[in-house]
Amino acid sequence: MADSSGEETELASASSGQSELPTPLPKQGDVRPNFSRPITGRTPCHVSGDLELLFPAPGDQEEVFDDCLITELKEILATAPNRSYIRFGRCEVGEEKYLSGGSKPLDIFNSEHWDTDLENDDEDESSIDYSSQHLYTQICKRLNVTPVSHFARHMEEPSISLKYHSLTSTETAAIFKSLRDMLNVERLDLEGNCIQNKGFQLLCDLLIDNKSLKELNIDENGLTDQCITSLADLLSQNSTLKTLSLGSNGFTDRSAYILADCLEDCKLTALSLCHNKLGGTAGVILGPALSTNVYLDILDLSWNQIRGCGAIAIATGLKENVHMKICNLSWNGFGELGGNALADALLVNTNLTTIDISANRLTYPVAVRFAKALGTNEVLEVLKMANNPITTAGCLVLIDAISKSQKSSLGYLDLLENPVEYEFLHVLQEVRAKKVDFQVFHGTILRAGNSTDDIGKPAIDIVRLSQQPVMILKGSLKINNPDKILEWLRKHNVKTKLCSLDNIIKCLKELDRTLSDSAVVNALSALPRHQDDKILISDLLSM
C-alpha cells in the first residue's frame, strides 16, 4: 500500500515455504534501522510478518487519541497472517518497548505494554500527603504561625500534654483546628499557657461536634467570666467530654448562674474550679445545682472564697446529692456554721467517700459534730481536716469516735498542723489494732511527761481546764492588768505586801463582776498563806 506522496514502508517477511521463527529482541548496542521519516510517539516503526504499514503522508491528519490509534492497529494486525514481534517507539521519552508475540496473539490492549498519560493518575493521588502532621503544617502556614514541634510529634497519640509551653491564642488556634476531626485524641492537657478568652471560645466551638476527647485541662490560661457562655454551649451539646479542669483562672460570682445551669444539665463526671474567685454568692447559687446533679463523681472547689451562707448552701447541696464520691472544699472560709452544716450532711449522705475541708477555720465544736457523724457514717473513707484550730481535744475526740465506731470505714485521717497529745497516740494504737492499714497524719506531739511511758496518761481537757477557777481568775487578771489591782488596793488604803482574802475577793469582784466568791476562793487556795492567813500581793499578780 502507498500513501498520497508515494512513500512506502517495506516490511520484511519470511519465505512462504518455511515456518516463521520469532525474531529475537534487539540487544543493547544494536544499530537501529534508518526509517524514511521520524518515528512519532504512537506510530509503529517496524513489524515482522507478511504485512505492510504505511506512514501517513505529510498532509494527512494523524489521530491524536490513543484508543483510536490502537483500534486501527488492532484491525490491521488482525489480518496479518504471520508476525513475530512488534516494536513501538516513544520519542518523547527516548525509549522503545518490545512486545513479544509467539504462538499466542498479542493483546495490544494490555495496559502493561503501553505508557499512557492516564497511568500516573493513581500515583499522583497516592503521593498526596493526607497525614495529620501535614494538615497541621498547612494550617500553621495559613495562620502564619510556627508549628509546635512537640505537638506535631505526639498528635497521633491518645494523650497529648502541652503544659507550660507558653502557647498563644493564635498558636493554639492551629492546634485546635487540627484536633477538630481527629478521632484518636482522648486527653488534652493545656495547663499553664496563654489561651485566654479568645482561644478558649474557639476551642469550645470546635469541640462541640468532637466525639473523641474525654479529658480537658485548661488550668491557668487567663480565662475570665467573658468566656463562660462558650463553655455552657460546649457542655450542653457535647456529651463525650467527661473531665474538665478550669482551675487557676479568673471566674467570679458573675459566672455562678451559668455554671449552675451547666451543673444541672452537663454530663461531666469530674469538674475542677479550684483557685478561682468564687465567693459566698457563688456558693448560694451552686448549692441547689449540686443537689440535683446526678453525673458528677468529683468536684473541686478548693482555694476560693466560699463562706457564710454560701458555705451552708454548698453543704446542703452535698447533703441532698446522691451520686458524688469526692469533694474538695479546702482553703475556703466555711467557719463554724459551714463546718457544722458539712457534719450534718455526712450524717445523711451515703455516697461521699472522700472529703477535704482543710484550712476552713473549723473549731473544736465542729470537730465534736464530725465525731458524731463518723460514729454513724459507713461510707466515708478519707477525711482531711488539716490546718484547722480544732485543738488537741478536737483531735482526740475524732480518733476516739473512730475507735469506738463499729461501722466506720475511715482509713485515712489528715490532721496535719494540728498538735496532738500522748493520749491521742494511745487511742491510735487501739484503732490500728482493728485496722492495720489505718493512716493518720498529725502535727507536733505535746509532751505530758518526760518519757514515752506517759502515753498512758490522760490528755489535758482544754474545755474542762478553761472552766477551772484558777483559769478563770488568770483570765480576769489578764484582762484587768496588775496596775488596776494595785490602784484599787491603794484606793482602799491597802499599803502592806500582805492582803487579806476578803480584800482580794472584794477587789477582784469589783474589777470583774463575772467572778463569784467561791470561784476566787477556790482559785486562791493554791497560793501560799502567810501571817493571819494573808496572801502576798506579788503571788497574786504572778498567777
Q: Give the domain ranges of the chain.
A: 1-128, 158-380+397-406, 468-541
**DSSP element (H, E) containing 203:** helix 196-207
Query: Pairing state of beta strands 535-536 and 44-49?
Result: unpaired
pLDDT tier at 264, thresholds 50, 70, 90: confident
> Grid coordinates in use for 11?
516490511
Neighbours of 479 (CB within 10 A): 10
pLDDT at residue 52 greater than cutoff 60: no
Q: What is the pLDDT of residues 63-79, one digit of tens each?
A: 444 455 455 555 555 55
Radius of gyration of the chain (CA): 48
The upper half-sphere exposure of residue 309, i.e. CA atoms within 13 Å in the direction of its Cβ, equals: 5
Can you give the pLDDT at residue 475?
Answer: 59
pLDDT at res. 15: 42
Of the candidates 472, 465, 504, which has an alpha carbon nearest to the alpha carbon of residue 488? Answer: 504
Range in 80-84, 219-223, 481-485 the model is least confident about: 80-84
**How large is the angle between the packed helices 422-434 and 391-404, nearest 10 degrees?**
20
Would you state the pLDDT for residue 445?
A: 85
Interval 35-57 mean pLDDT: 46
> Would you say residue 252 has pLDDT above 90?
yes
Q: Residue 47's pLDDT is what? A: 46
Q: Between these two residues, 126 and 295, which has the higher pLDDT value?
A: 295
Beta bridge partners of 353: none
**387: helix, coil or strand?**
coil
Alpha helices in 149-242 (DSSP H): 149-154, 169-179, 196-207, 228-237
Helix axis angle, 501-511 relative to 517-524, nearest 10°? 120
Instruction: Identify the pLDDT of residue 9.
Output: 41
Which pLDDT value is given to residue 179? Answer: 85
Instruction: Determine how many CB atoms are found less than 10 A away from the CB of residue 50.
Output: 16
Q: Are 240 and 211 in contact (CB under 8 A)?
A: yes
Strand, coil or helix: 62: coil
Q: Which residue has the cell 451547666?
A: 262
Top mean pLDDT of 154-158, 278-282, 481-485 is at 278-282
In this predicted structure, the answer to whether residue 49 has a pLDDT above a threshold of 60 is no
Tell the residue number behind the cell numbers 487556795, with chain if given. 525
CATH architecture, domain defined by 158-380+397-406 = Alpha-Beta Horseshoe (3.80)
Provide the pLDDT for residue 83.
45
Q: Which one has a higher pLDDT value, 71 or 11?
A: 71
Q: Please name which of 366, 302, 357 lies closest in space to residue 337, comparing C-alpha atoms.
A: 366
| Domain at 468-541, CATH from 1.20.58, 1.10.10, 3.40.720, 1.10.238 | 1.10.238
C-alpha to C-alpha distances, 276 to 303, 306, 513, nearest whole angstrom:
7, 11, 49
C-alpha–C-alpha distance, residues 213 and 75, integer Å: 64
How many C-beta neighbours within 10 Å does residue 508 have?
Answer: 23
Longest dimension (CA), the chain: 168
As to burial, measured by CB atoms within 10 angstroms (0-12 exposed, 13-18 middle, 19+ buried), residue 142 is exposed
Task: Return the H-helix or E-strand segment holding 412.
Answer: strand 412-415
* Predicted pLDDT at 518: 73
Distance CA 130, CA 378 (A): 57
Most confident of 52-56, 73-77, 328-332: 328-332
* pLDDT at residue 45 greater than cutoff 80: no
Strand partners, 383: 355, 413
Find where cell 477587789 sits.
507
319 touches 345 (CB < 8 A):
yes
What pLDDT score was predicted for residue 489? 64
8 A C-beta contact, residue 473 and residue 519: yes
pLDDT given for residue 84 in this prediction: 42
* pLDDT interval class at 543 (50, 70, 90): low
Q: Is 375 exposed, middle or buried (0-12, 13-18, 19+ CB in 10 A)?
A: middle
Q: What SS3 class is residue 515?
A: coil
**Distance separating alpha carbons of residues 165 and 148, to the nearest angstrom:** 9
Contact yes or no for 337/364 (Cβ under 8 A): no
Report which of 67, 66, 99 is spatially closest to residue 83, judged by C-alpha positions.
99
Buried/exposed code over 85-114 (b: 16+ C-beta within 10 A; e: otherwise): bbbbbeeeeeeeeebebeeeebebeeeeeb
| Distance from C-alpha of 60 to C-alpha of 43, rounded to nearest angstrom | 14
Half-sphere exposure of 151 (CA within 13 A, CB side): 28
Distance CA 325, CA 342 (A): 15
**pTM attached to this predicted model:** 0.62
Q: pLDDT tens for residues 126-175? A: 444 557 888 899 999 999 999 999 999 998 899 999 999 999 888 999 99
- Average pLDDT over every residue of 493-500: 66
Q: How far is CA 315 from the centre of its chain?
A: 26
A 10 A CB-CB count for 475 gives: 14
173 three-class SS: helix
Least confident of 97-101, 351-355, 424-428: 97-101
pLDDT band at 17 (very low <50, low <70, confident <90, very high): very low
Arithmetic mean of pLDDT over the chain: 77
Specify the higher pLDDT residue, 371 or 118: 371
How many angstroms separate the CA atoms of 472 and 466, rounded? 7
Place of cell 491564642: 169
- pLDDT of 449 > 60? The answer is no
pLDDT value of residue 501: 75
| Residues in CB range of 98: below 8 A, 6 or more apart | 25, 26, 85, 87
Give SS3 for 15: coil
Mean of pLDDT values over 237-251: 96
Question: What is the 3-state composition of the chain as percent helix, strand, coil, each rounded to the nearest 5?
Answer: 45, 10, 45
Per-residue confidence at 43, pLDDT binned at 50, 70, 90?
A: very low
